[in-house]
Structure formats: C-alpha cells, structure tokens
Structure 1
Amino acid sequence: MTKELRRLSIIVLFMFLALFASTSYIQVIQADALADQPTNRRTLFDAYEVQRGAIIAGGQEIASSVPSGDVYAWQRQYADSHMWSPVTGYLNPVLVSATGIERAMGQELSGTAGSAFFSRIEQIVTGQPPRGSSVMLTLDPAVQQAAFEAMQGLTGAVVAIEPDTGRIRALVSTPGYDANQLAQHDIEATNSAHSALENDPLRPLQNRALEELNPPGSTFKLIVTAAALASGEWDEDSELPNPPTFRLPQSSATVQNANGGTCGGGSTVSIATALRLSCNVPFAELAIEMGDDAVRDMAERFGFNHDFSVPLTVTPSSYPAELDNPQTGLTGFGQGRLTSTPLQIAMISAGIANGGTVMEPYMVDRIVGVDLSVQKSTTPTPFGEAIDEDLATLLTSMMVANVQDGVASGARIDGVDVAGKTGTAEMGGENDPYTLWFTGFAPADDPEIAVAVVVEDGGGQGQSGSGNTIAAPIAKKVMEAVLSR
C-alpha cells in the first residue's frame, strides 16, 4: 500500500469512527432528551399510536387510555379529575399538548424511555403491540381527598410531605378542572373548554401548590427564629424590645402587631413568646439586627432560591439578594419582596420535623412495566442539613406551644401533639384581602406528616379571616387523614 493510500485509509477510518461516536452519542446519551423535546413532533405522534401507561395513586388508576376509534387510536381518561388535575395534567394529540405528569413523564408513559428498553425489545420479539409503562405516584388518595374536600369553595393549595423521605402524600390546588374536557379529540370542543379555563378569573389551570408565589407571612418567622438561635447570639429566652409599633430605619413605613398593641405585657418580649403570639414588631427588629445575609442563608438551607422538580417543575421561592434594612425588616415577618410556594413552606416544617435534615421532595415512586417489573424507582435523597437536631427539637417545642397555647390553636387534634405556625400575608392594597397560611406537622414527637396550606383572597372573609381560623383547620383534617390510616 502506498503512503498516500495509507493516509487516505487512516482519514476514512477516523471519519468513520467520528461518525460512529457521534451517532452513538445522539442515539444513546441524548436519546431521552431529544425525545422529550416538545418540538419533536415525530416522537410525539409515534407515542399516540401506543397504549399509554396508567398514572396510579395508591393502587387507583387516576389516568388511563381507552380506545378512541379515530386516527389517534387512544384517548386519555381521568378519574376524579377536579381533584387530580394539578397532578395528572392532560394529554391531547389534537392540540399537540401535554401538561402535568403527562408531560413530565411522557417518555415513561409512552414506553420510549431508556428504562423501558428491554420491555420494548420483548414486545418486538413476541409480537405484542407496543405499550407504555405505568407511573406509580407517592400520593395517598385518602389524604388527597381530605385535602381536596377541606378546600372546597376556597382558592389555594395544600401540600403534605413525609418528613423523613420527602414523599409527597397530597398535592391539591383549587379550583381544579376537568382534564377530560381537554383530552377529547374534538378540536372545537377542546378549544372552547381551554379558552373558558384560561379566561376564568380563578385561574384553575394554575398549579398553586408548585407554581404560585405569595408572601409567606408569619410562617417565615420559623426561618428567622432558626437563624437567630443557630447563630449562638440568641436563645429562646433572649429579650427583644416590645414597642406597639416600630418605624423601619431609613423609611416612613411603620410595623405593628396584629393586635395593634405590644406583644404581651412588658417593655421586652422573649423570642419564644414573640413566636407563640406571632408578633411582627419583634421579628422585624430581630431580622434587621441579624442582617439579610444571615436570614437568606437560613432560608436557602431550607430550599429558598433553589430549583426543584418533583418531577413537575417548581417555581423557585425567593429571598432576594442585597436587601436594605427596611426590606430586611419586612422579611422578618414574611412580607416585602419575599415570596414562596406552598411546597417550600411544607419543606420548612418537614425539615424541622426530620431533625433538621431537609429531604428532596418527590411524587413519582416507581415506573412499572406491562409485565409488572419495576423499571425505575426513586430513592429518598437529602437536600441538606438546615439545622442541627438540638435546634430542631427546640423549634418543635416552640411550634407545639403555638398550637397548644398560641395563635395556631385551630390545628389542635385531641390526644396528639401538633407542631404548627400560622401566617397572614398582606397583599399590597390597603383593602385587599389577606392570604392565609398554616404549616406544621404531627405527631410532634414522631412526625408522620408535614403540611402547608395557603388560602387566597382571605378565604372569602376579606381582611377578617386568619390563618388560624381558616388555614389551620384544613391542615388539621389532612393530618387526621394520615394519622387515622
């Protein structure tokens, strides 16, 4: 072989290897990502010809495929859809659209995910028609129903988490919607239903549990208390000034307590008492004295300013950077530029309940093939240690006092110690109704469930409703549903 032919052979071999490596990378490494692209119409239309797997919660099929008798072969069908729609979302081949678990787990449900590779091979070899895998959720239908029923007539959300695993046991957003109307193959009827939902002022298509941001109100005092006690400069008996009002520095804005007076009697008040009575003035003073960096650091340890996928995408809760003293003071009682999702507030309680360790939240337990083999499962994963165990125990006792002898009495359960914290967030306008919060866990000495509840528009009571009278009783019903199992 001449030198020129040898060089040409080497070049051709190199080009072949480069092509082989490139196609292998695309077909193996990038396959799932490319298949999951919303613009990949070929994969999407191929998926419509497959009998899609079921979405299952607690042994109940909440989404399944039925023969459609048209060009798309199969149509999705949703059970108790108003209750489950924030979770399942919907799939519609006519609109070429999918949301919720239908979107997030689309590859698994259509059988095109890497985890279903051997199942696809078996179906080809045996001549079976292609079928997708089922998605088993962590959600408990009884707990979901308790939360959903408790929220009837209200606009808001409920999230319930197992503290030691991060498993989401309930995720409710109200009002819900009927996903069956958006899954039908009649394009005119589907577009009409979708337009009606989009124009609904209550925004039923919005997942308030994971996407909606609100000021967290006094639930955030748990973060401020944790930051103060973790610093070593304060303890639960440390005294703070106790005026009836507090003018924010470099500002004309004035902070006052909900009762319009001082936080209990006396010229000073302890941190423990200020938390039990949920007073704004002492916490505004405390946040300013610590500084925004210290408060932000503790908030981020619990998950603020981080991205989460459960696998539905979660809007990051925000404690902004570089706040001035007036802004920092407002965050001391959960106001100002501070915003949070209900999931994040549930994670605060869950982290305290779990001895200070915050777990990554998730709601897909495992992927199961047609032959009932487990193709993929989720392992509980720590997000991080927010506080040490001693501080978590102390915060728990302070939260129990909130329920037993404080402003969170609406969450009391006979024979069970409940740890909790209420919140009432002002929404900007002088006459705007408040957003009402509660977060907590039970039993306090051996936590099984952590809950966050948010009720928008004052629960229909304008500015007269409170987190204790409206949100706390909802959380109580959810906790009772878990404890009675």
Structure 2
Amino acid sequence: MNSPIRRLGLVAALLFFSVFASSTYIMFFQAKELYNHQGNRRTLLASYDRERGQILVGGDAVARSTATKDDLKWERTYPQGELYAPLTGYFSFIYGAGGGLESADDDLLSGTSDKLFYRRISELISGRQPAGASLDLTINPDAQKAAYDALGDQKGAVVALDPRTGAILAMVSKPSYDPNTLTSHNLNSVTAAWKQLNADANKPMVNRAIAGNLYPPAPSSRS
C-alpha cells in the first residue's frame, strides 16, 4: 500500500472514531440533560400525552391537569390562581415548567423521576395509563388565605412555619399573578400574557419570600 492511500485510510479511521466517540458520549452522558432541556419540544409534546400530577393543599388540588380534545391532550389549570401562584409556578407549552414546584419537582409531576421507576414498571405490567406523581404540601389553606388577605395591596411576603417541625404552613408573595394565563392552549394569548408579566415593574412572578430582594423578618410584638 502506497503512502497517500495509507494516510487517507488513517484520516478515515480517525473520522470514524471521532463520530463513534461523539455519538457514544451523547447517548450515554448527555441523554438525560438533552431530554430535560427546556427547549426540547419533543419532550414537551410527550409530557402532554400523560396526566401531570396534582399539587394538593389540604386535600384539594391547587394545580391539576384537565383533559382536552386538542392535539395537546391535557391542559394545566390552577383553580385558586394568584393565591398559590408563588408556590405552584406554571407549566406552559411555550415556556415550560417554571416559577415554583412545577419547576422544582418537574420530574416527579411529569412522571419521569428515577424515584418512580418501580411505579412505571407497575404501570407497564398492569396496562394503566402512565401519570405523574402528586405533591401533598404542608400548607394550611386557612393560614394561606389569612396571610394573603392580611397582606392586602402591600408589596411583600409572608411565611408561617410550624416551630415544632419547620413545616411551611403559609407562603404568600404579593403582587402575584394568575398562572392560568400562561398555560392556555391559545399560544398567542400566552405570549401576550408572558410579555405583560415580564414588563410589569412590580415583578409579580418573583416569589418575594425566597427570591428577589429579600425582606428582613418583622420584629415580634411585646406586651
């Protein structure tokens, strides 16, 4: 074999090895990252094929999925909107999962968490329709409503904890927003709502209890 052919064969072998190594790295090391990437529309479309888990407060759903007759089989709804928006966040076809628990526990709510492996096996064997896991919060609905009403039109946040366990009983941030405006299947209205919320100088999508310009604790009253 002459020298030019030998060099050409070496280059071809190196190119083949590079493609093989790159494909192996993507499939085995980047697969989960790419699958969960916010811009991956295939993942978003697949997530709308199964019912997303509920977010529960006092046994009632403050975030749930409602069946539709659209190409997107489920629509995320928030029955009490602004009251729990800083906690729930939003789940939008355009903007993904964001804001609160919808983002923080997206893998559980969507049913893709490794913690649900045995559940997925059970669903596969039994033929049950796959669904996400629900989250049951420690929030007390009466405490949440009382804190929300007490804050009134003021800009700020209220957090109430159980001193015995550290469980969060109420978490309110104002001004708030209605996450339903971001989850509609009318994508034009969703885009308009997103622009309006982000242009608002009061930053209603910021949970002031845990983010943004945090507030110092209020002084305790003394008799």
CA-to-partner distance for each residue in 1:156-194, whole Å, 9 max, x for gaps?
111112233222111101111111111101011111122
Instruction: Write the letter of the residue equivalent to 2:96.
Output: S
| 2:222 aligned residue (403, 425, 430) | 403
Note the 1:178-189 alignment, pairs <5 A.
178-189=178-189
What is the match of residue 62 of structure 1?
A: 62
CA-to-partner distance for each residue in 1:48-73, whole Å, 9 max, x for gaps?
21111101112110000001211111
Note the 1:20-419 alignment, pairs <5 A.
26=28, 35-93=35-93, 95-99=94-98, 100-213=100-213, 341-342=214-215, 345=217, 403-404=222-223
Q: TM-score, normalised by structure 1?
A: 0.38
Q: Distance in 2 between matches of 1:118 and 1:35?
A: 20
Query: Are 1:36 and 1:106, in contact at CA under 8 Å, matched by a contact in 2?
Result: no
Give aligned-pair identity as a percent: 36
CA-to-partner distance for each residue in 1:206-253, whole Å, 9 max, x for gaps?
21111122xxxxxxxxxxxxxxxxxxxxxxxxxxxxxxxxxxxxxxxx
Structure with the bigger RCO (C-alpha within 8 Å, sep 6+) is 2
CA-to-partner distance for each residue in 1:257-310, whole Å, 9 max, x for gaps?
xxxxxxxxxxxxxxxxxxxxxxxxxxxxxxxxxxxxxxxxxxxxxxxxxxxxxx
Q: Distance in 1 between matches of 2:31 and 2:163?
A: 35
Q: Distance in 2 between matches of 1:117 and 1:98?
A: 22
Query: Are 1:68 and 1:75, in contact at CA under 8 Å, matched by a contact in 2?
Result: yes
Instruction: Write the letter of the residue equivalent to 1:98.
Output: A
Tell me how far 1:144 sits from its aligned partner.
0.5
Tell me how far 1:39 sits from its aligned partner.
4.1
CA-to-partner distance for each residue in 1:2-40, whole Å, 9 max, x for gaps?
xxxxxxxxxxxxxxxxx9xx89x948xx87666544344
Tell me how far 1:79 sits from its aligned partner.
1.4
Aligned pair count? 199
Q: What secondary structure does 1:208 align onto?
A: coil
Note the 1:423-442 alignment, pairs <5 A.
none
Q: Distance in 1 between matches of 2:121 and 2:212?
A: 42
Query: Are 2:140 and 2:169, in contact at CA under 8 Å, matched by a contact in 1?
Result: yes
Q: What secondary structure does 2:194 align onto?
A: helix
Query: Are 2:44 and 2:96, in contact at CA under 8 Å, matched by a contact in 1?
Result: no
Runs of 4+ in structure 1 over 6 Å off:
none
Instruction: Write the letter of the residue equivalent to 1:200.
Output: D
Q: Distance in 1 between matches of 2:182 and 2:40?
A: 21
Query: Are 1:108 and 1:132, in contact at CA under 8 Å, matched by a contact in 2?
Result: yes
What is the match of residue 482 of structure 1?
A: none
Instruction: Say if 1:132 and 1:31 are closer, same or farther in 2 by CA, change over 3 A.
Output: farther
